[in-house]
Amino acid sequence: MKKKEVVWTLFLDRDGVINKRLPDDYVKVWHEFEFLPKTLKALNLLRPLVKYIFVVTNQQGISKGLMNLEDLSFIHKHLKKVTRKNKSSIDEIYFCPDLAEDDPPCRKPNIGMGLQAKSDFPDLDFKYSIMVGDSPSDIEFGKKLQMKTVFIDEKMADIQTEADYTCHDLMEFYRIFVLDFTGKFKS
């Protein structure tokens, strides 16, 4: 009997994973969005190895009145455009505009964005999904949905999380993904 090939899905947090996080602020307009080093290359290398790439991002700056839905839509439209141009397309971007203190179902660590992705892409299997994030709420979101989890710690400050892996950036995650999840490595 032939072994079934596993097809993986990536869930990526945005700020701190794809782009530079602004300390005590929000990316409110496109010119504030700065890709982290090697991120586009890592996405380009990961794209052919996975079925889907989703971005799941808490964006409470909207509810705080610091930006609006049109601003966020513009940022995400350009994020998708740049990644598509780089041959590393993102299948969908899910966001939660609500305040943390309201504890909405869409806000990580709650699983609303994951359930929305499953509704939009019914063949999605959380058991073969990986959540890559830079906060404990990202890891908790992935664990609640029974995903593998990867904690991005740019400074490698040895922050304690329940993540399955800890990496410096998406390029390091790519290397781990290839070695541990596919067995095929190309540099």
Residues acting as catalytic residues: 13, 15
> Residue 35 pairs with which residues in a beta bridge?
19
Q: Read off the tokens for 63.
A: 């509810």
CA distances to 6, 80, 167, 179 from 56, in Å: 22, 13, 19, 25
CA distances to 3, 20, 34, 35, 85 from 80, in Å: 34, 16, 14, 12, 8
Percent helix, strand and coil across the chain, each rounded to 5?
35, 20, 45
What span, in angstroms and rounded, lies between the C-alpha atoms of 129 and 170?
Answer: 16
Please state at what angle helix 69-85 crosses helix 39-46, rounded to 10 degrees. Answer: 70
